[in-house]
Structures are given as structure tokens and as C-alpha cells.
Structure 1
Amino acid sequence: MPAATPQAVRRQIAQGKLDPVYLIVGDDDAEMARLAADLSAVVEDELRAFNLERMYAGEKATSPAAIVESARTLPMMGERRIVVVLRAERLLKPKRRGKEEEAGDVEPVPGGGDTDLLDAYVKRPEPLTTLVFVASDVDRSRRLYKSIQKHATIVECWGLKGSSKDRVDLRQVARAAEQLVRQAVADAGQQIDPAAARLVAERAGTDIATLRGDVERLLLFAAGKPKIDLEDAQEVVSVETTQDDWAVTSAIQRGDRAEALRQLALALDAGTVSYMVLGQLGYFVRERLPGIDARRVPAAVEALFRTDLDLKTSGGDPRVLLERLVVELCRR
């Protein structure tokens, strides 16, 4: 079945026409949680004790057999039963065994049993039940996923990235992030300076959780102001970063490779996420470098794309990849 958007599923909810099985997958935890809650809200409050069940994959009580048994239970005094399976990546992408085990083998499904029962259920679901899997990722080569892909509705919530496997276009990500910032601020009844929206967006890189968190803090910080300016954004961004947010880019701007690498090490050792650093470097390349030396921009953009792709495809140690990028950006 073709993939559905969260908006399309919400239209189904409004029309009372739910599909029997959904897979909600992605890295946008906030949107995934909201959609699962919207599906759960189909069950009337007074009947939730009977017709709504939330299960956590990986727990002893949540075996494939237990999930199927819950899904096959008919609704009581209501029209539909909702079963939500959280952390479903433990079923749909179980960890592989270590090297000491047979190559290609996988660990048994947490909670006992195997996924054959779920595979059979997906192919012939209970019409009065909606079974919802919520997963951070899936193994697309497994039989259960292929059955879900054919018979169920898949809702992808990959935040700013658009997909789990597509090459990330940093310019497109930045535009999407800025749009999200502006929309969130508008929904709060405020306005935001374009430079402020751009800073918050660039700081997050491709991390939707970081972006949402920064936007929430920004709205709290600037509550009551009709328009949020760049200084407001800088105050919010500085909360979660190191002593000098732009120490790495400042050193790159000077062409000081040794200092840039030292500041990068300090940032990573302090717990800064690699994509946070990449977002700042992207902001530097697009917003500052053209005014410093436009001739360096094409090579810098290419280096950014390559590093982002390597980070997303596990093409090397993140620290080494970022160090290589910093060295390349320092070249004059």
C-alpha cells in the first residue's frame, strides 16, 4: 500500500474510516506520539479501559502472541478497539547477534516467540481493531515489514530528513526547518525576524528533536514579545552549547586549522551532537563564507554534502568525519 502522511491519517480519523493496521516510523518522536494519541482518542474516554491497550515491545508480557491476542479481542460496548505497540523497532528491526554467532543470524524477538504470528495477523487483521506499530526504524528486508508494506498503512515521520535513506539535501533541510520555526511562532501569535529563524534552524542541523526543543524554549523566552529578534534566538541557542558557540567557525574563518580542531574536540567532548556541529558549519558556509571568500564556497558545499551523507550512512567515525571537514573548510 502507498505511504500515508500524518495529515491523511488524521482525515481518516475525522471521517471515522480507520485502516486495520498502521506502522508509524521515523525520528520525529513528537509527531509520532501525537499521531498515536490521535488514533487512541478514537476510543471513547469511558471505554478506554476495555478498548484501548498500549503495549511496549521488548517487555516479557509483549510477545507477538500477546499482541495478536489483544488485537483479536473484540471491542466491548464500542465500535472499535485500538492496540498501540510502542518501541516496535524491537520487533521490526531486532538486534543482530555478535560476531561470535552465525553470520546473518538475529537475536530472538524480545518477549519470546517469533513474528510469524504477527505476519499472519497483518495479512488477515481483525476488522474491528486498529493495530498501530510505532517504531524508530525498521529492517526493510524482513518478511514482517514486507507484509506490512503490502497490507498495512505506513506513515513516515522523518522530521527534517524526509526519508531514512535518501541523501540529505542540507539546503532543503534548512528551508524546511526555517518554515517549521516560522509556522510554530505564527501559531503562537508572534512574528520572528528571518535571521533569528535561520539561526535556530541551522543550529539544529537535521535533528528535528533539537529544533522542536529550541523552538519551545524560544517561545518561552520571548513570551509576550510581538516579534522575536536575533538576540532572542542567540540567547536560546547558547543555552545548550559550549562556552563559545561559534569558536570552531571563527577559527575556520581565520584559517586557523589547529585552533578549529581544538575547539571541535572541546565541543564534542562536552557532549555536543555531531549534527549540531554540522548545522553550525553549514550556517557558516552558506551565510558567512560567501562574504569572506566566494571562491571557497563550491568546495565547501561539496564537503558539507559528503560529510552529511557519510554521517547518515555510517561512513566513518563522526569525530574523524567532522575533523576532516574542518580541515577542508580551513583551506584558502
Structure 2
Amino acid sequence: MLIIPESEARALVTMSDAIEAVAETFAALDRGEAASYPVVREKLGSPSAVFGVKTGYDRAAGALGLKAGGYWQGNAERNLTNHQSTTLLFDPATGQPSALVGANYLTGVRTGAAAALATRHLARPDARVLGIVGTGTQALYQLDAIRCVRSLDEVVAWNRTPARLEAFLEAVRARGLAARGADLEETVRAADILVTATPGQAPLVDAAWVRPGTHVNAVGADTAGKQELDSALVTRAAVYVDSLEQAVTIGECQTAVRLGLLRPEDICGTLGGLVSGRLPGRMEGESITLFDSTGIALQDLAVAALAVRRAGEGGRGTEIAFS
């Protein structure tokens, strides 16, 4: 079995690599050649944390496995990242474990990659201003991913904590982009492309603030009870999802569905349908489009399998006898 620690994973997979790998697995999902299985996602009583397991199989790519991990809010005090994840891959022919891959960085990259694909297909071609609500760890992944598919002129951002906002803005400027902080409403109103990446459990973004023609990547809601957007925005937008089953139970769509404001059949389609070309993507310049990103196992398997391939090509990682 090959072991790829976190430090090695960072060196093996770039954002542009991840976007293409994630595109391939979503296309396979749309063709019926891959599947993600039901998610285990549970809150832990002590310590206060969320732990989950996501599993899947991409027959086209030969990737079988699971990612386990979650969110430990107190980790920052221990000089650890709050998000902790590890991916385990298996040989589809024998069931033997083939690789153990550190997945903190890869989780950030694969989440950004899905948003980039949604942006590629749903954002206006002339979208130039990126608005980001929530400037935690995922925000820079979102920025780096979206820059791969759109030429940005400015980033406008909001965060409850001024120090975290300023650190993010400095990182954006270091990438050669104009960046400024703003209040929540101004951030939303300024955006051609809006990313929400918070752990919120109540709506932050008012539907009235979102301009016609905006594309929204809703990234934060991935657990029952989470919500970032006004349900009126969800019902007003053309909604696309990574997984219909997850979107209506743990994603941004869950509240609107529970309140009877949105039916699963009202959802326009999946990211897989867009990537495969089965669905046309943005049709009208003034429509508001929304991608409900809950994160599926196939994304994790795609980037982990890519890391394993790159490790094999470069002689990286550590082989151990496991069975």
C-alpha cells in the first residue's frame, strides 16, 4: 500500500490538474459509469465536531474508496486545521487497500474544482468581480479555482472577524489582484460571481441583494441544519447541484425543500450533466444561477487517484506491506 502524507499531496496535485480530474469523474457519473454512495455525516457530542464518511466508485477511472474526516472547530488552538480528512483507496479487482492519502489540501482543491466547473458553465463570460462571503480556509481555494476559468478584475470579501478578512485580502493582493473588504450587503451586490463559504445555520445572503446575471457557488452547507442563502434566492435561481440526494438533505437546498418552497424536480440539473455536455449551461444573461456544492466522494477519489499516479511517476510516497 502506498502512503502519501499531507505534505506530499500538496506537491503532487495542482488546482488546474484537479479541475480536469474532477470534470472527468462528474462526466462519468452523468454517464452512469460512477456512483457516490450514501453519506455518513454526524455531529459528535464531545468534542464538538462533525465527522463523516463519503464513499464511491468510478468504474471508468478504476477508483474505489472512501474519505473520512470532518470539522473540529477547536483545532486552530492546537495549530491544526479545523478540517481533517484522509482518503483510502482500494483495488477494485481484489478489494485490497492500495493507498492512504492525506486529504486536507485535496479536499480544499476538489471543492474549489467543482465550483470552477460550475462557474465555467454557468457564470457570464464577462464576469469580472468575485464576491466572497466567508474568508476561512476554503476562500483561497475558491479564488484560485475560479481564476482558472474566469479573468477577474477584483475580489470583494466579507468576514465577521476583521483579522481573518485582512489576512485573506493580503493573500489575494499577493496574487496580483485588486481586493477590498466590504459589508455583507455590498459584497453581495458587487459580485458577478458570488461564493458563500461559511458554516452558517441561518441565511446570510438576502435575495434582494443578488443582481440579475449573478452566478452563486454555495459551498458552506454540507450538513443537516446548515444554511447560507435566503430561501427566496434558492427558489428564484436556476439551481444546479453536485448530487440531488445530498442537495435536498444536507445542502443549501435543504431548507427550501423542507419548507415546500422548492421541489426536487424544480432543480435544473447536475454538474455532471453540465460537464458531459448533456445540459446546455447558462442560457440567459440576466438569469441568476446557483450551484449547490455539497461535495461528493467521487471528487475525493479523483484527486486522490491523481496524487497516487503522480507519486508513482515521480517515485514519491512510501510503500508498505499491508497484507
Q: What TM-score results when the alignment is normalised by the length of structure 1?
A: 0.29
More helix by share: 1
Q: What TM-score results when the alignment is normalised by the length of structure 2?
A: 0.30
